[in-house]
Amino acid sequence: MSKESSCTHSNFNELVKVRIPSLGKRAAENNKAILEKIALEGPLLKYDVSKSLNRSLSDYGTISRRIDALIKAEYLEEAGKRATRRGKQTKQSLYGLTWRGFIASLTIKEVRENILQVLKRNPLLAFPEKEIILLVLEELVTQQELETIARTVLEAFLRTIPNLELVENEPMSIIAWMSSIKEIKLPDGFKLSRITQDAGELLKLLDKPAILQAVKEKLVPLIKQKTMETKAMYQMFLVLNEVGEFISNLEVEDQPSKKIREYYENELKPKLERFSEED
């Protein structure tokens, strides 16, 4: 990255320590290792995390306390349960990344390099049409390009926020803070290699079986649903406009209450019943 567009490695680490409290304390190494493990593998038991980390971090009590602290600070949250024994089938909690945990995990290069995998494997990181968006991104953007974008946006985000733990733990709040970033400067000469202005080339994405299937199962039904909702709303406004016109033409001597009852029974009610049947 150019000097103008990026922190140096040391400056970036200092920024992380200041803006992300759980990565700036004595326990930062353990916290970072836990976030990385869960980011890359998805929700895990405390035991799984402890077992999979290297020996210097593998003390179960330490890892358990660190996970509890990350849950309290809302970097992690319960994401289901899993049976751990035969017979009694004791169930223990699986812990996955929250949006706060996701942002914190992006400070780790391996996580940034596998950002789509992280989004797929952590179910708490939900957003509308997630499946199809991730499929398209896989086709349009390379792993290295995603890493570069993630690092650049993360740096700008961390410069903007006062403290990650003061940002509400939901995607809309994250987006609101992102919108306050006036300028994100990518490295000089950076260009998405697979993005094209040619609509025909973009349509070739539908030649990919997984994308075509996702469009059929997710996007087409959504469009149909929104179309029906819009149509119903439009028809309702037409009816309301008609009712308004009818009332506007009434005079006191017309006995408005009687006229409106007649209008409702003879004209309005049948229309509303037809709308109901169409729905």
Q: Which residues pair with 78 in a beta bridge?
A: 95
Nearest to 100 by CA among 61, 152, 142, 157: 157
pTM over 0.85: no
In a domain, 1, yes or no: no
Instruction: Identify whether residues 134 and 173 lie together within a single domain.
Output: yes
Domain CATH number, residue 54: 1.10.10
Kind and range of the H or E element at 269?
helix 269-278
Task: Give the tens place of pLDDT for each residue, 142-193.
Answer: 889 999 999 999 998 998 898 999 998 888 777 777 776 666 777 777 777 6
Total number of domains constituting the chain: 2
Task: Give the tens place of pLDDT for each residue, 95-112.
Answer: 999 999 999 999 999 999
Q: Is residue 83 classed as helix, strand or coil in its secondary structure?
A: strand
Instruction: Identify whether residues 69 and 111 lie together within a single domain.
Output: yes
The residue segments making up the domain with residue 241 are 204-278
Instruction: Identify whether residues 102 and 30 lie together within a single domain.
Output: yes
Contact between residue 165 and residue 100 where contact means Cβ atoms under 8 Å apart: yes
Instruction: Identify whether residues 147 and 88 lie together within a single domain.
Output: yes
Angle at which helices 9-19 and 143-160 cross, to 10°: 50
Contact between residue 38 and residue 44 where contact means Cβ atoms under 8 Å apart: yes
In a domain, 4, yes or no: no
Instruction: Identify whether residues 244 and 162 lie together within a single domain.
Output: no
Nearest to 240 by CA among 266, 262, 265, 272: 272
Q: Please tell me the distance from the alpha carbon of residue 5 to that of residue 177, in angstroms, as a whole number.
A: 19
- Cβ contacts of 106 within 8 Å, gap of 6 or more: 112, 115, 150, 151, 154
